[in-house]
Amino acid sequence: MSMAGKSKSAPAVTQAPLVELRDINVSFGGLHAVQDVTVDLRPGEVVGLVGGNGAGKTTLIRTLSGAHPADSGQIFIDGRPVMIENPRDAQELGIETIYQTLALADNIDAPGNFFLGRELKTRTGSLNDAAMESATRSVIGRLNPNFKNFKTPVTSLSGGQRQSVAVGRAIHFNARILIMDEPTAALGPAETQQVRDVIKQLKSEGIGIFLISHDIHDVFDLADRISVMLHGRLVGTVNKVEVTTDQVLAMIIMGKLPSEVSSTDLARLHG
């Protein structure tokens, strides 16, 4: 278990968080998918958002990316309340999202997807495909040097290449806040390592990252703090250096904070 990188000076606690989601509620019909959840994120910090299937992680984060507005609750950016009603609002606030589904239009090529919704245009207002392809080549070339298919629809690309398009798109537009929903779920070991390197690089540039992941090792490797959700509620947020994987697992499975976990609980956890 790598604990490196923590020697870097942590941001001052008094500083206003880059993002704060406060008392967020989302329900679908009778189902309360997210209930009174409050989480925050500071510049240059990675906050891991973990929990079992259906814990409400993705739903919570979709309120920040504008994909699905919250029923109630507030969002603060740099301490100021903001309204995020659609993905465009989020983009304008410097929030970029890499969705678990990648959200790519399969019939369009990599540059088209890269600039989808934010196309570069010529003086006459036409699409400037050459400029878009050029920018895409340079960004994706850094992420994935083997990427060559810039003219074919992305449906013909491998999982890793598709991921490169989605990651490249998120980092190209000078995001301040990055949301990554299971960024390594579909990837092989080498590609997973590339994504981890990208996350560390972005973190060092001062970007705040919400990282949603099933993989507790990913989270322990990359996150500074870990927020755990269970059944739509926040179990708690802990500093990574102060907990063990077992304690986080207890939070995920039993919904108990480290201070509440007894040794019998831990024994049960290991079956």
Please give the residue ranges that form the binding site for another protein (CB under 8 A): 65, 67, 86-88, 91, 97, 99, 101-108, 112-113, 116-119, 121, 125-127, 130-131, 133-134, 153, 156
Distance of closest approach, residue 216 Cβ to another protein, in angstroms: 27
- Residue 30 vs 125, nearer CB to another protein: 125
Q: How far is the CB of 111 from another protein (least distance, A)?
A: 11
Nearer to another protein, 140 or 250 (CB): 140
State in angstroms the smallest separation of the CB of 43 from another protein.
24
Smaller CB distance to another protein: residue 178 or 222?
Answer: 178
Q: Is 63 exposed, middle or buried (0-12, 13-18, 19+ CB in 10 A)?
A: buried
Give the shortest CB-57-to-another protein separation in angstroms.
Answer: 17
DSSP summary character for residue 225: E
Closest among 189, 191, 193 to 201, alpha carbons compared: 193
**Is the separation of the CB atoms in 247 and 261 below 8 Å?**
yes
SS3 label, residue 76: strand
CA atoms of 158 and 240, how far apart (whole Å): 34
Q: What is the CA radius of gyration of the chain?
A: 19
Of 66, 26, 44, the residue nearest 229 (C-alpha) = 26
| Minimum CB–partner distance for residue 156 and another protein (Å) | 8
Q: Which residues pair with 34 in a beta bridge?
A: 26
What is the closest distance, in whole angstroms, from the C-beta atom of residue 113 to another protein in the complex? 8
3-state secondary structure of 203: helix
Specify the residue, 114 or 220, whose C-beta has the smaller distance to another protein: 114
For another protein, give the closer residue by CB, 8 or 118.
Answer: 118
Distance CA 62, CA 56 (A): 10
* Residue 84: CA count within 13 A, CB half-sphere: 31
Least spacing, CB of residue 67 vs another protein, in Å: 6
SS3 per-residue string spanning 27-62: EECCEEEEEEEEEEECCCCEEEEECCCCCCHHHHHH
Question: Which of 131/249 has CB closer to another protein?
Answer: 131
CB-nearer residue toward another protein: 138 or 201: 138
